[in-house]
Amino acid sequence: MTARYTLHGFFMSGPTYKVGLMLTLCGERFDYVSLNLREGQHKTPEFLKLNRFGQVPALVDTSNGKALCQSAAILDYLADKTGQFGGSTLDERLRAREWLYWGWDKLDAPIYRLRGWKRGFRQLEPVQVAMYETERKAALDTLEAWFTAGHHWLAGEHATIADIDLYGAVIYAPESGEDLAAYPAIKGWLTRLEGLPHFVPMSALLPPESRKAE
């Protein structure tokens, strides 16, 4: 059976993992197209038709021909289409989206940039490293306080797109130089999310090559 969705991405990309994880948790099969960022495949005219920002991921919904970009917006779309992880009340939907926007503002940037620097993909001056380390600590402290206060999930009583999105940033913290030893409540939340049906870890979800849905 033809898969409804095609995910275009890169196996080391956190935002690509977020979308792949959402699809997987929703039980959606998807074709995967691997782009070589070093060769600039995300800047070709063909790819810019899918993602005008020239970034991965991009998701194509073959049922209606829509091409979507920005992982948080894609998660929102998939929640709408699948009826899963969107939050079951207006309050939950609002809270989930507040966390999504907060994540991109405060959490993802320091973790992804320090990870890129550690892996040699990005140059940072010592003053920038210090700034991102301070920002990473502040963001992780915010999350730790939330879960220490007794919340199991970010919005309501069940996992939502907020948990999937922020998981796809926090899971890269060790590669950014923060092993999370000082964050037991965050680690408990990571374990809860990893216990959801159909969960697949980042190391197993995205191959370095393109793959058709099984």
Ligand X SMILES: N[C@@H](CCC(=O)N[C@@H](CS)C(=O)NCC(=O)O)C(=O)O
Q: Contact positions toward ligand X, by CB under 6 A?
A: 10, 13-15, 37, 42, 54-57, 70-72
Could you give the angle at which helices 14-25 and 161-170 cross, rounded to 10 degrees? 140
Q: Considering the complex, what minimum distance in angstroms separates the CB of residue 55 from ligand X?
A: 3
Complex with ligand X: residue 14 or 20, whichever CB lies closer: 14
CB of 47 to ligand X, least distance (A): 10
Task: Give the shortest CB-69-to-ligand X separation in angstroms.
Answer: 6
Q: Which is nearer to ligand X, 144 or 165 (CB)?
A: 165
H-helix or E-strand spanning residue 35:
none
Q: Are 204 and 32 in contact (CB under 8 A)?
A: no
Rounded least distance, CB 1 to ligand X, Å? 28
The smaller minimum CB distance to ligand X, of residues 72 and 202, is found at: 72
Q: Which residues contact 7 (CB under 8 A, 6 or more apart)?
A: 16, 19, 20, 23, 30, 31, 32, 33, 57, 58, 59
Rounded to whole angstroms, the Cα distance separating 2 from 129 reads: 45
Name which of 52 and 198 has its Cβ closer to ligand X. Answer: 52
Task: Tell me whether residue 59 or residue 155 sits nearer to ligand X (CB atom).
Answer: 59
- Name the pairing type of β-strands 30-34 and 58-61: unpaired
Residue 198 CB, shortest distance to ligand X, in Å, is 22
Other CB atoms within a 10 A radius of the CB of residue 2 amount to 9
